[in-house]
């Protein structure tokens, strides 16, 4: 194939929760598109990130972490979203965390085994492996166990070996015209990205204090005189969760808003006026109708 021939394809990034899938996507496309936190299952939707380098356009799909426990409707949605994304792509990137193989990694491997697509296994967070000598036998073990088309050890956070990963992936894409303009980074709307950034700040600031029953609904998103005016409703399940997010004298909510606004101004490259409210909506995370209204059941 001529090197100048355009290549383009879809690449699903899959794995169990908290292995670094969203961090990997953000560093590959060199822009924060997918939200991250130390808390598992931060990503709830399939997020598309686009990387165009010369003749090659890689369309990445960052998926929610696949997990065994399906406690409610939102958990079931996340598993379905991840599984469906892996079915319709050209290449699958299966991300694992260092040498820590778990039952949930096994679950992901089983779901991928019958799909037939090329699977590139990415061993992430290799900078945290104390004895690098353990990596070679582990790679050999996973090669024999999973039979991937390639194994690439990386540190997404440190940008280690990501160029090699891009090279491996680009070689596996079909010859095809590009789907998106070269400067487009995602197919998600600005409203969606704004909601995700607010949810990230909640997850990061509250950590273990707040369970997963929190989501964000953008009620207003308009541009006026080069300023984005954004009003967002933070939905929780119980009154106690509302008090936690608001904080003493509104201090926590103010901090969440300030942090989210800074990231929004960087992402949208314009000044942002952000208003936040918190509302109790009991049972939203286990109600298919509520999830559909909030954009989960696509």
Question: Tell me, what's the pLDDT at 138?
Answer: 95
For range 123-132, the mean pLDDT: 93
Does 227 have pLDDT greater than 90? Answer: yes
pLDDT-derived band at 87, boundaries 50, 70, 90: confident
Question: Tell me, what's the pLDDT at 74?
Answer: 47
Using the structure block, give the residue that is written with the tokens 């924060």. 32
Does 126 have pLDDT greater than 90? Answer: yes
Average pLDDT over the chain, rounded to an integer: 84
**pLDDT tens per residue across span 209-226:** 665 668 888 999 999 989
Question: Tell me, what's the pLDDT at 187?
Answer: 83
Does 268 have pLDDT greater than 80? Answer: yes
Does 7-172 match 190-293 in CATH topology?
Answer: no
Question: Tell me, what's the pLDDT at 52?
Answer: 94
- CB neighbours of 19 closer than 8 A, spacing ≥ 6? 65, 95, 96, 97, 124, 125
CATH number assigned to the domain with residue range 7-172, chosen from the 4 options 3.50.30.60, 3.40.50.300, 3.30.110.40, 3.40.710.10: 3.40.50.300
Question: Tell me, what's the pLDDT at 289?
Answer: 58
pLDDT-derived band at 22, boundaries 50, 70, 90: confident
Does 1 have pLDDT greater than 50? Answer: no
For range 50-71, the mean pLDDT: 79
Maximum distance among all alpha carbons in the chain?
Answer: 64
Cα–Cα separations (whole angstroms), residue 268 to 10, 36, 272: 25, 18, 9
- CB neighbours of 33 closer than 8 A, spacing ≥ 6? 25, 26, 47, 49, 62, 185, 186, 188, 193
Provide DSSP, the chain: --TTS-EEEEEEEE-STTSSHHHHHHHHHTS--S---SSTT---S-EEEEEEETTEEEEEEE-PPP-S---SHHHHHHHHHHHHHHHT-SEEEEEEETT---HHHHHHHHHHHTT-SEEEEEEE-GGG-S-GGGHHHHHHHHHHHH--SEEEE-BTTTTBTHHHHHHHHHHHSPB---SS-TT---SS-HHHHHHHHHHHHHHHHHGGGS-S-EEEEEEEEEEETTEEEEEEEEEESSHHHHHHHH-GGGHHHHHHHHHHHHHHHHHHTSEEEEEEEEEE-TTGGG-HHHHHHTT---
Q: How far is CA 265 from the centre of its chain?
A: 20
Question: Tell me, what's the pLDDT at 298?
Answer: 47
Does 163 have pLDDT greater than 90? Answer: yes
Measured distance CA(178)–CA(175) in Å, rounded: 9
The β-bridge partners of 209 are none
* pTM of the complete model beyond 0.85: no
For range 94-105, the mean pLDDT: 93
Q: What is the percentage of the chain residues whose pLDDT exceeds 90? A: 51
The CATH architecture to which 190-293 belongs is: 2-Layer Sandwich (3.30)
pLDDT-derived band at 286, boundaries 50, 70, 90: low
* Stated length of the chain: 298
Question: Tell me, what's the pLDDT at 188?
Answer: 83
Does 97 have pLDDT greater than 90? Answer: yes
Does 70 have pLDDT greater than 50? Answer: no
Does 79 have pLDDT greater than 60? Answer: no
Does 114 have pLDDT greater than 70? Answer: yes
What are the domain boundaries of the chain? 7-172, 190-293
> Strands 47-53 and 214-224: what pairing?
unpaired
Question: Tell me, what's the pLDDT at 296?
Answer: 52
Question: Tell me, what's the pLDDT at 271?
Answer: 96
Question: Tell me, what's the pLDDT at 110?
Answer: 86
> Strands 56-62 and 47-53: what pairing?
antiparallel
For range 88-110, the mean pLDDT: 91
For range 179-187, the mean pLDDT: 89
């Amino acid at each position: 194939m001529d090197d100048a021939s355009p290549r383009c394809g879809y690449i699903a990034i899959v794995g169990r929760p908290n292995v670094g899938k969203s961090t990997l996507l953000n560093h590959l496309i060199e822009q924060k598109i997918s939200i991250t936190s130390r808390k598992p299952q931060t990503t709830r939707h399939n997020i598309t990130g686009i990387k165009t380098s010369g003749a090659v356009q890689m369309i990445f799909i960052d998926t929610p972490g696949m997990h065994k426990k399906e406690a409610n409707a939102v958990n079931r949605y996340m598993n379905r979203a991840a599984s469906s994304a892996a079915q319709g792509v050209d290449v699958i990137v299966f991300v694992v965390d260092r040498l820590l193989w778990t039952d949930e990694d096994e679950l992901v491997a089983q779901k991928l085994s019958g799909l037939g697509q090329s699977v590139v296994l990415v061993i992430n967070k290799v900078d945290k492996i104390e004895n690098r000598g353990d990596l070679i036998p582990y790679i050999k073990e996973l090669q024999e166990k999973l039979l991937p088309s390639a194994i690439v050890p990386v540190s997404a956070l440190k940008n280690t070996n990501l160029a090699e990963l891009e090279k491996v992936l680009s070689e596996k894409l079909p010859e095809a015209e590009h789907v998106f303009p070269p400067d487009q980074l995602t197919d998600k709307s600005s409203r969606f990205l704004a909601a995700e950034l607010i949810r990230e700040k909640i997850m990061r600031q509250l950590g273990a204090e707040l369970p997963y029953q929190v989501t964000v609904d953008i009620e207003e998103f308009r541009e006026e005189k080069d300023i984005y005016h954004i009003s967002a409703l933070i939905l929780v399940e119980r009154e106690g969760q509302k008090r936690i997010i608001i904080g003493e004298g509104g201090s926590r909510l103010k901090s969440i808003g300030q942090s989210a606004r800074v990231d929004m101004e960087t992402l949208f490259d314009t000044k942002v006026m952000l208003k936040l409210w918190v509302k109790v909506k009991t049972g939203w995370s286990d109600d298919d109708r509520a999830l559909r209204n909030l954009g989960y059941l696509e």
